[in-house]
Structure 1
Amino acid sequence: MTKLTAKKSVKTKSSTYDVSEHLRTPEEMAAYLDAWLDEAPEDAAGIARALGDIARAKGMSQVAKDAGLSRESLYRALSAEGNPSFATVLKVAKALGVRLHAQAVPSGA
């Protein structure tokens, strides 16, 4: 006689990774933005999203206030569909306490 056993179904719960929850210090925030600028310097949308990640880590309402923008326009500008002006990027960077920097690129790179 064969004994049958029922296996209990285990459901796994998945969640979306939110990098903003892991950006705790100004140094971590600057390093995160610097990595985007270094690894994907031509990905304007990705860099804007990185600024958005940092803004969420610091508190979107306070960053918007410090940048002189409404909270809604800041969310929109730094979303995946956003296309912030360079002036907005500079205002947000200043409000975040980070600075964009230039670096010479070797010819042929």
Structure 2
Amino acid sequence: MRKQMIENAAFDVAEQVRTVEDTIDNALSEIAELQGRMMRARSVAGVGVRTGHDALEHLATTLHSLVVARGGMGNCHAALLDAKSVVPGLRTVSFGDAECPPKTAVAPLRVVA
């Protein structure tokens, strides 16, 4: 029973790691879209380059911060994979062909106490 609880907890963590990674990637895509729209809006309005430049700099800082966060999540992911090898009951657990649940993972039936 305890082993199953540990496996369930590890699966929940793995799913959440994947969710956070995907969320950061989606945010990066949205920022790229926003940058493009800002450039088009400036062009359509026919205003000078300095107009809205502060906003563009803030957006670029945000983009850089998210890229750093993405790398941090990758490092977190790797550290969790390493930690798995020292947690009793998880050394031999895998969530499919890879070390992590697939993006379309469906939680298997679980024993509920």
Q: Which has the higher helix share?
A: 2
The bucket for the TM-score relative to the shorter chain is under 0.3
TM-score by length of structure 1 reads: 0.26
Q: TM-score, normalised by structure 2?
A: 0.26
Asked which structure has the greater RCO (Cα within 8 Å, sep 6+), the reply is 2
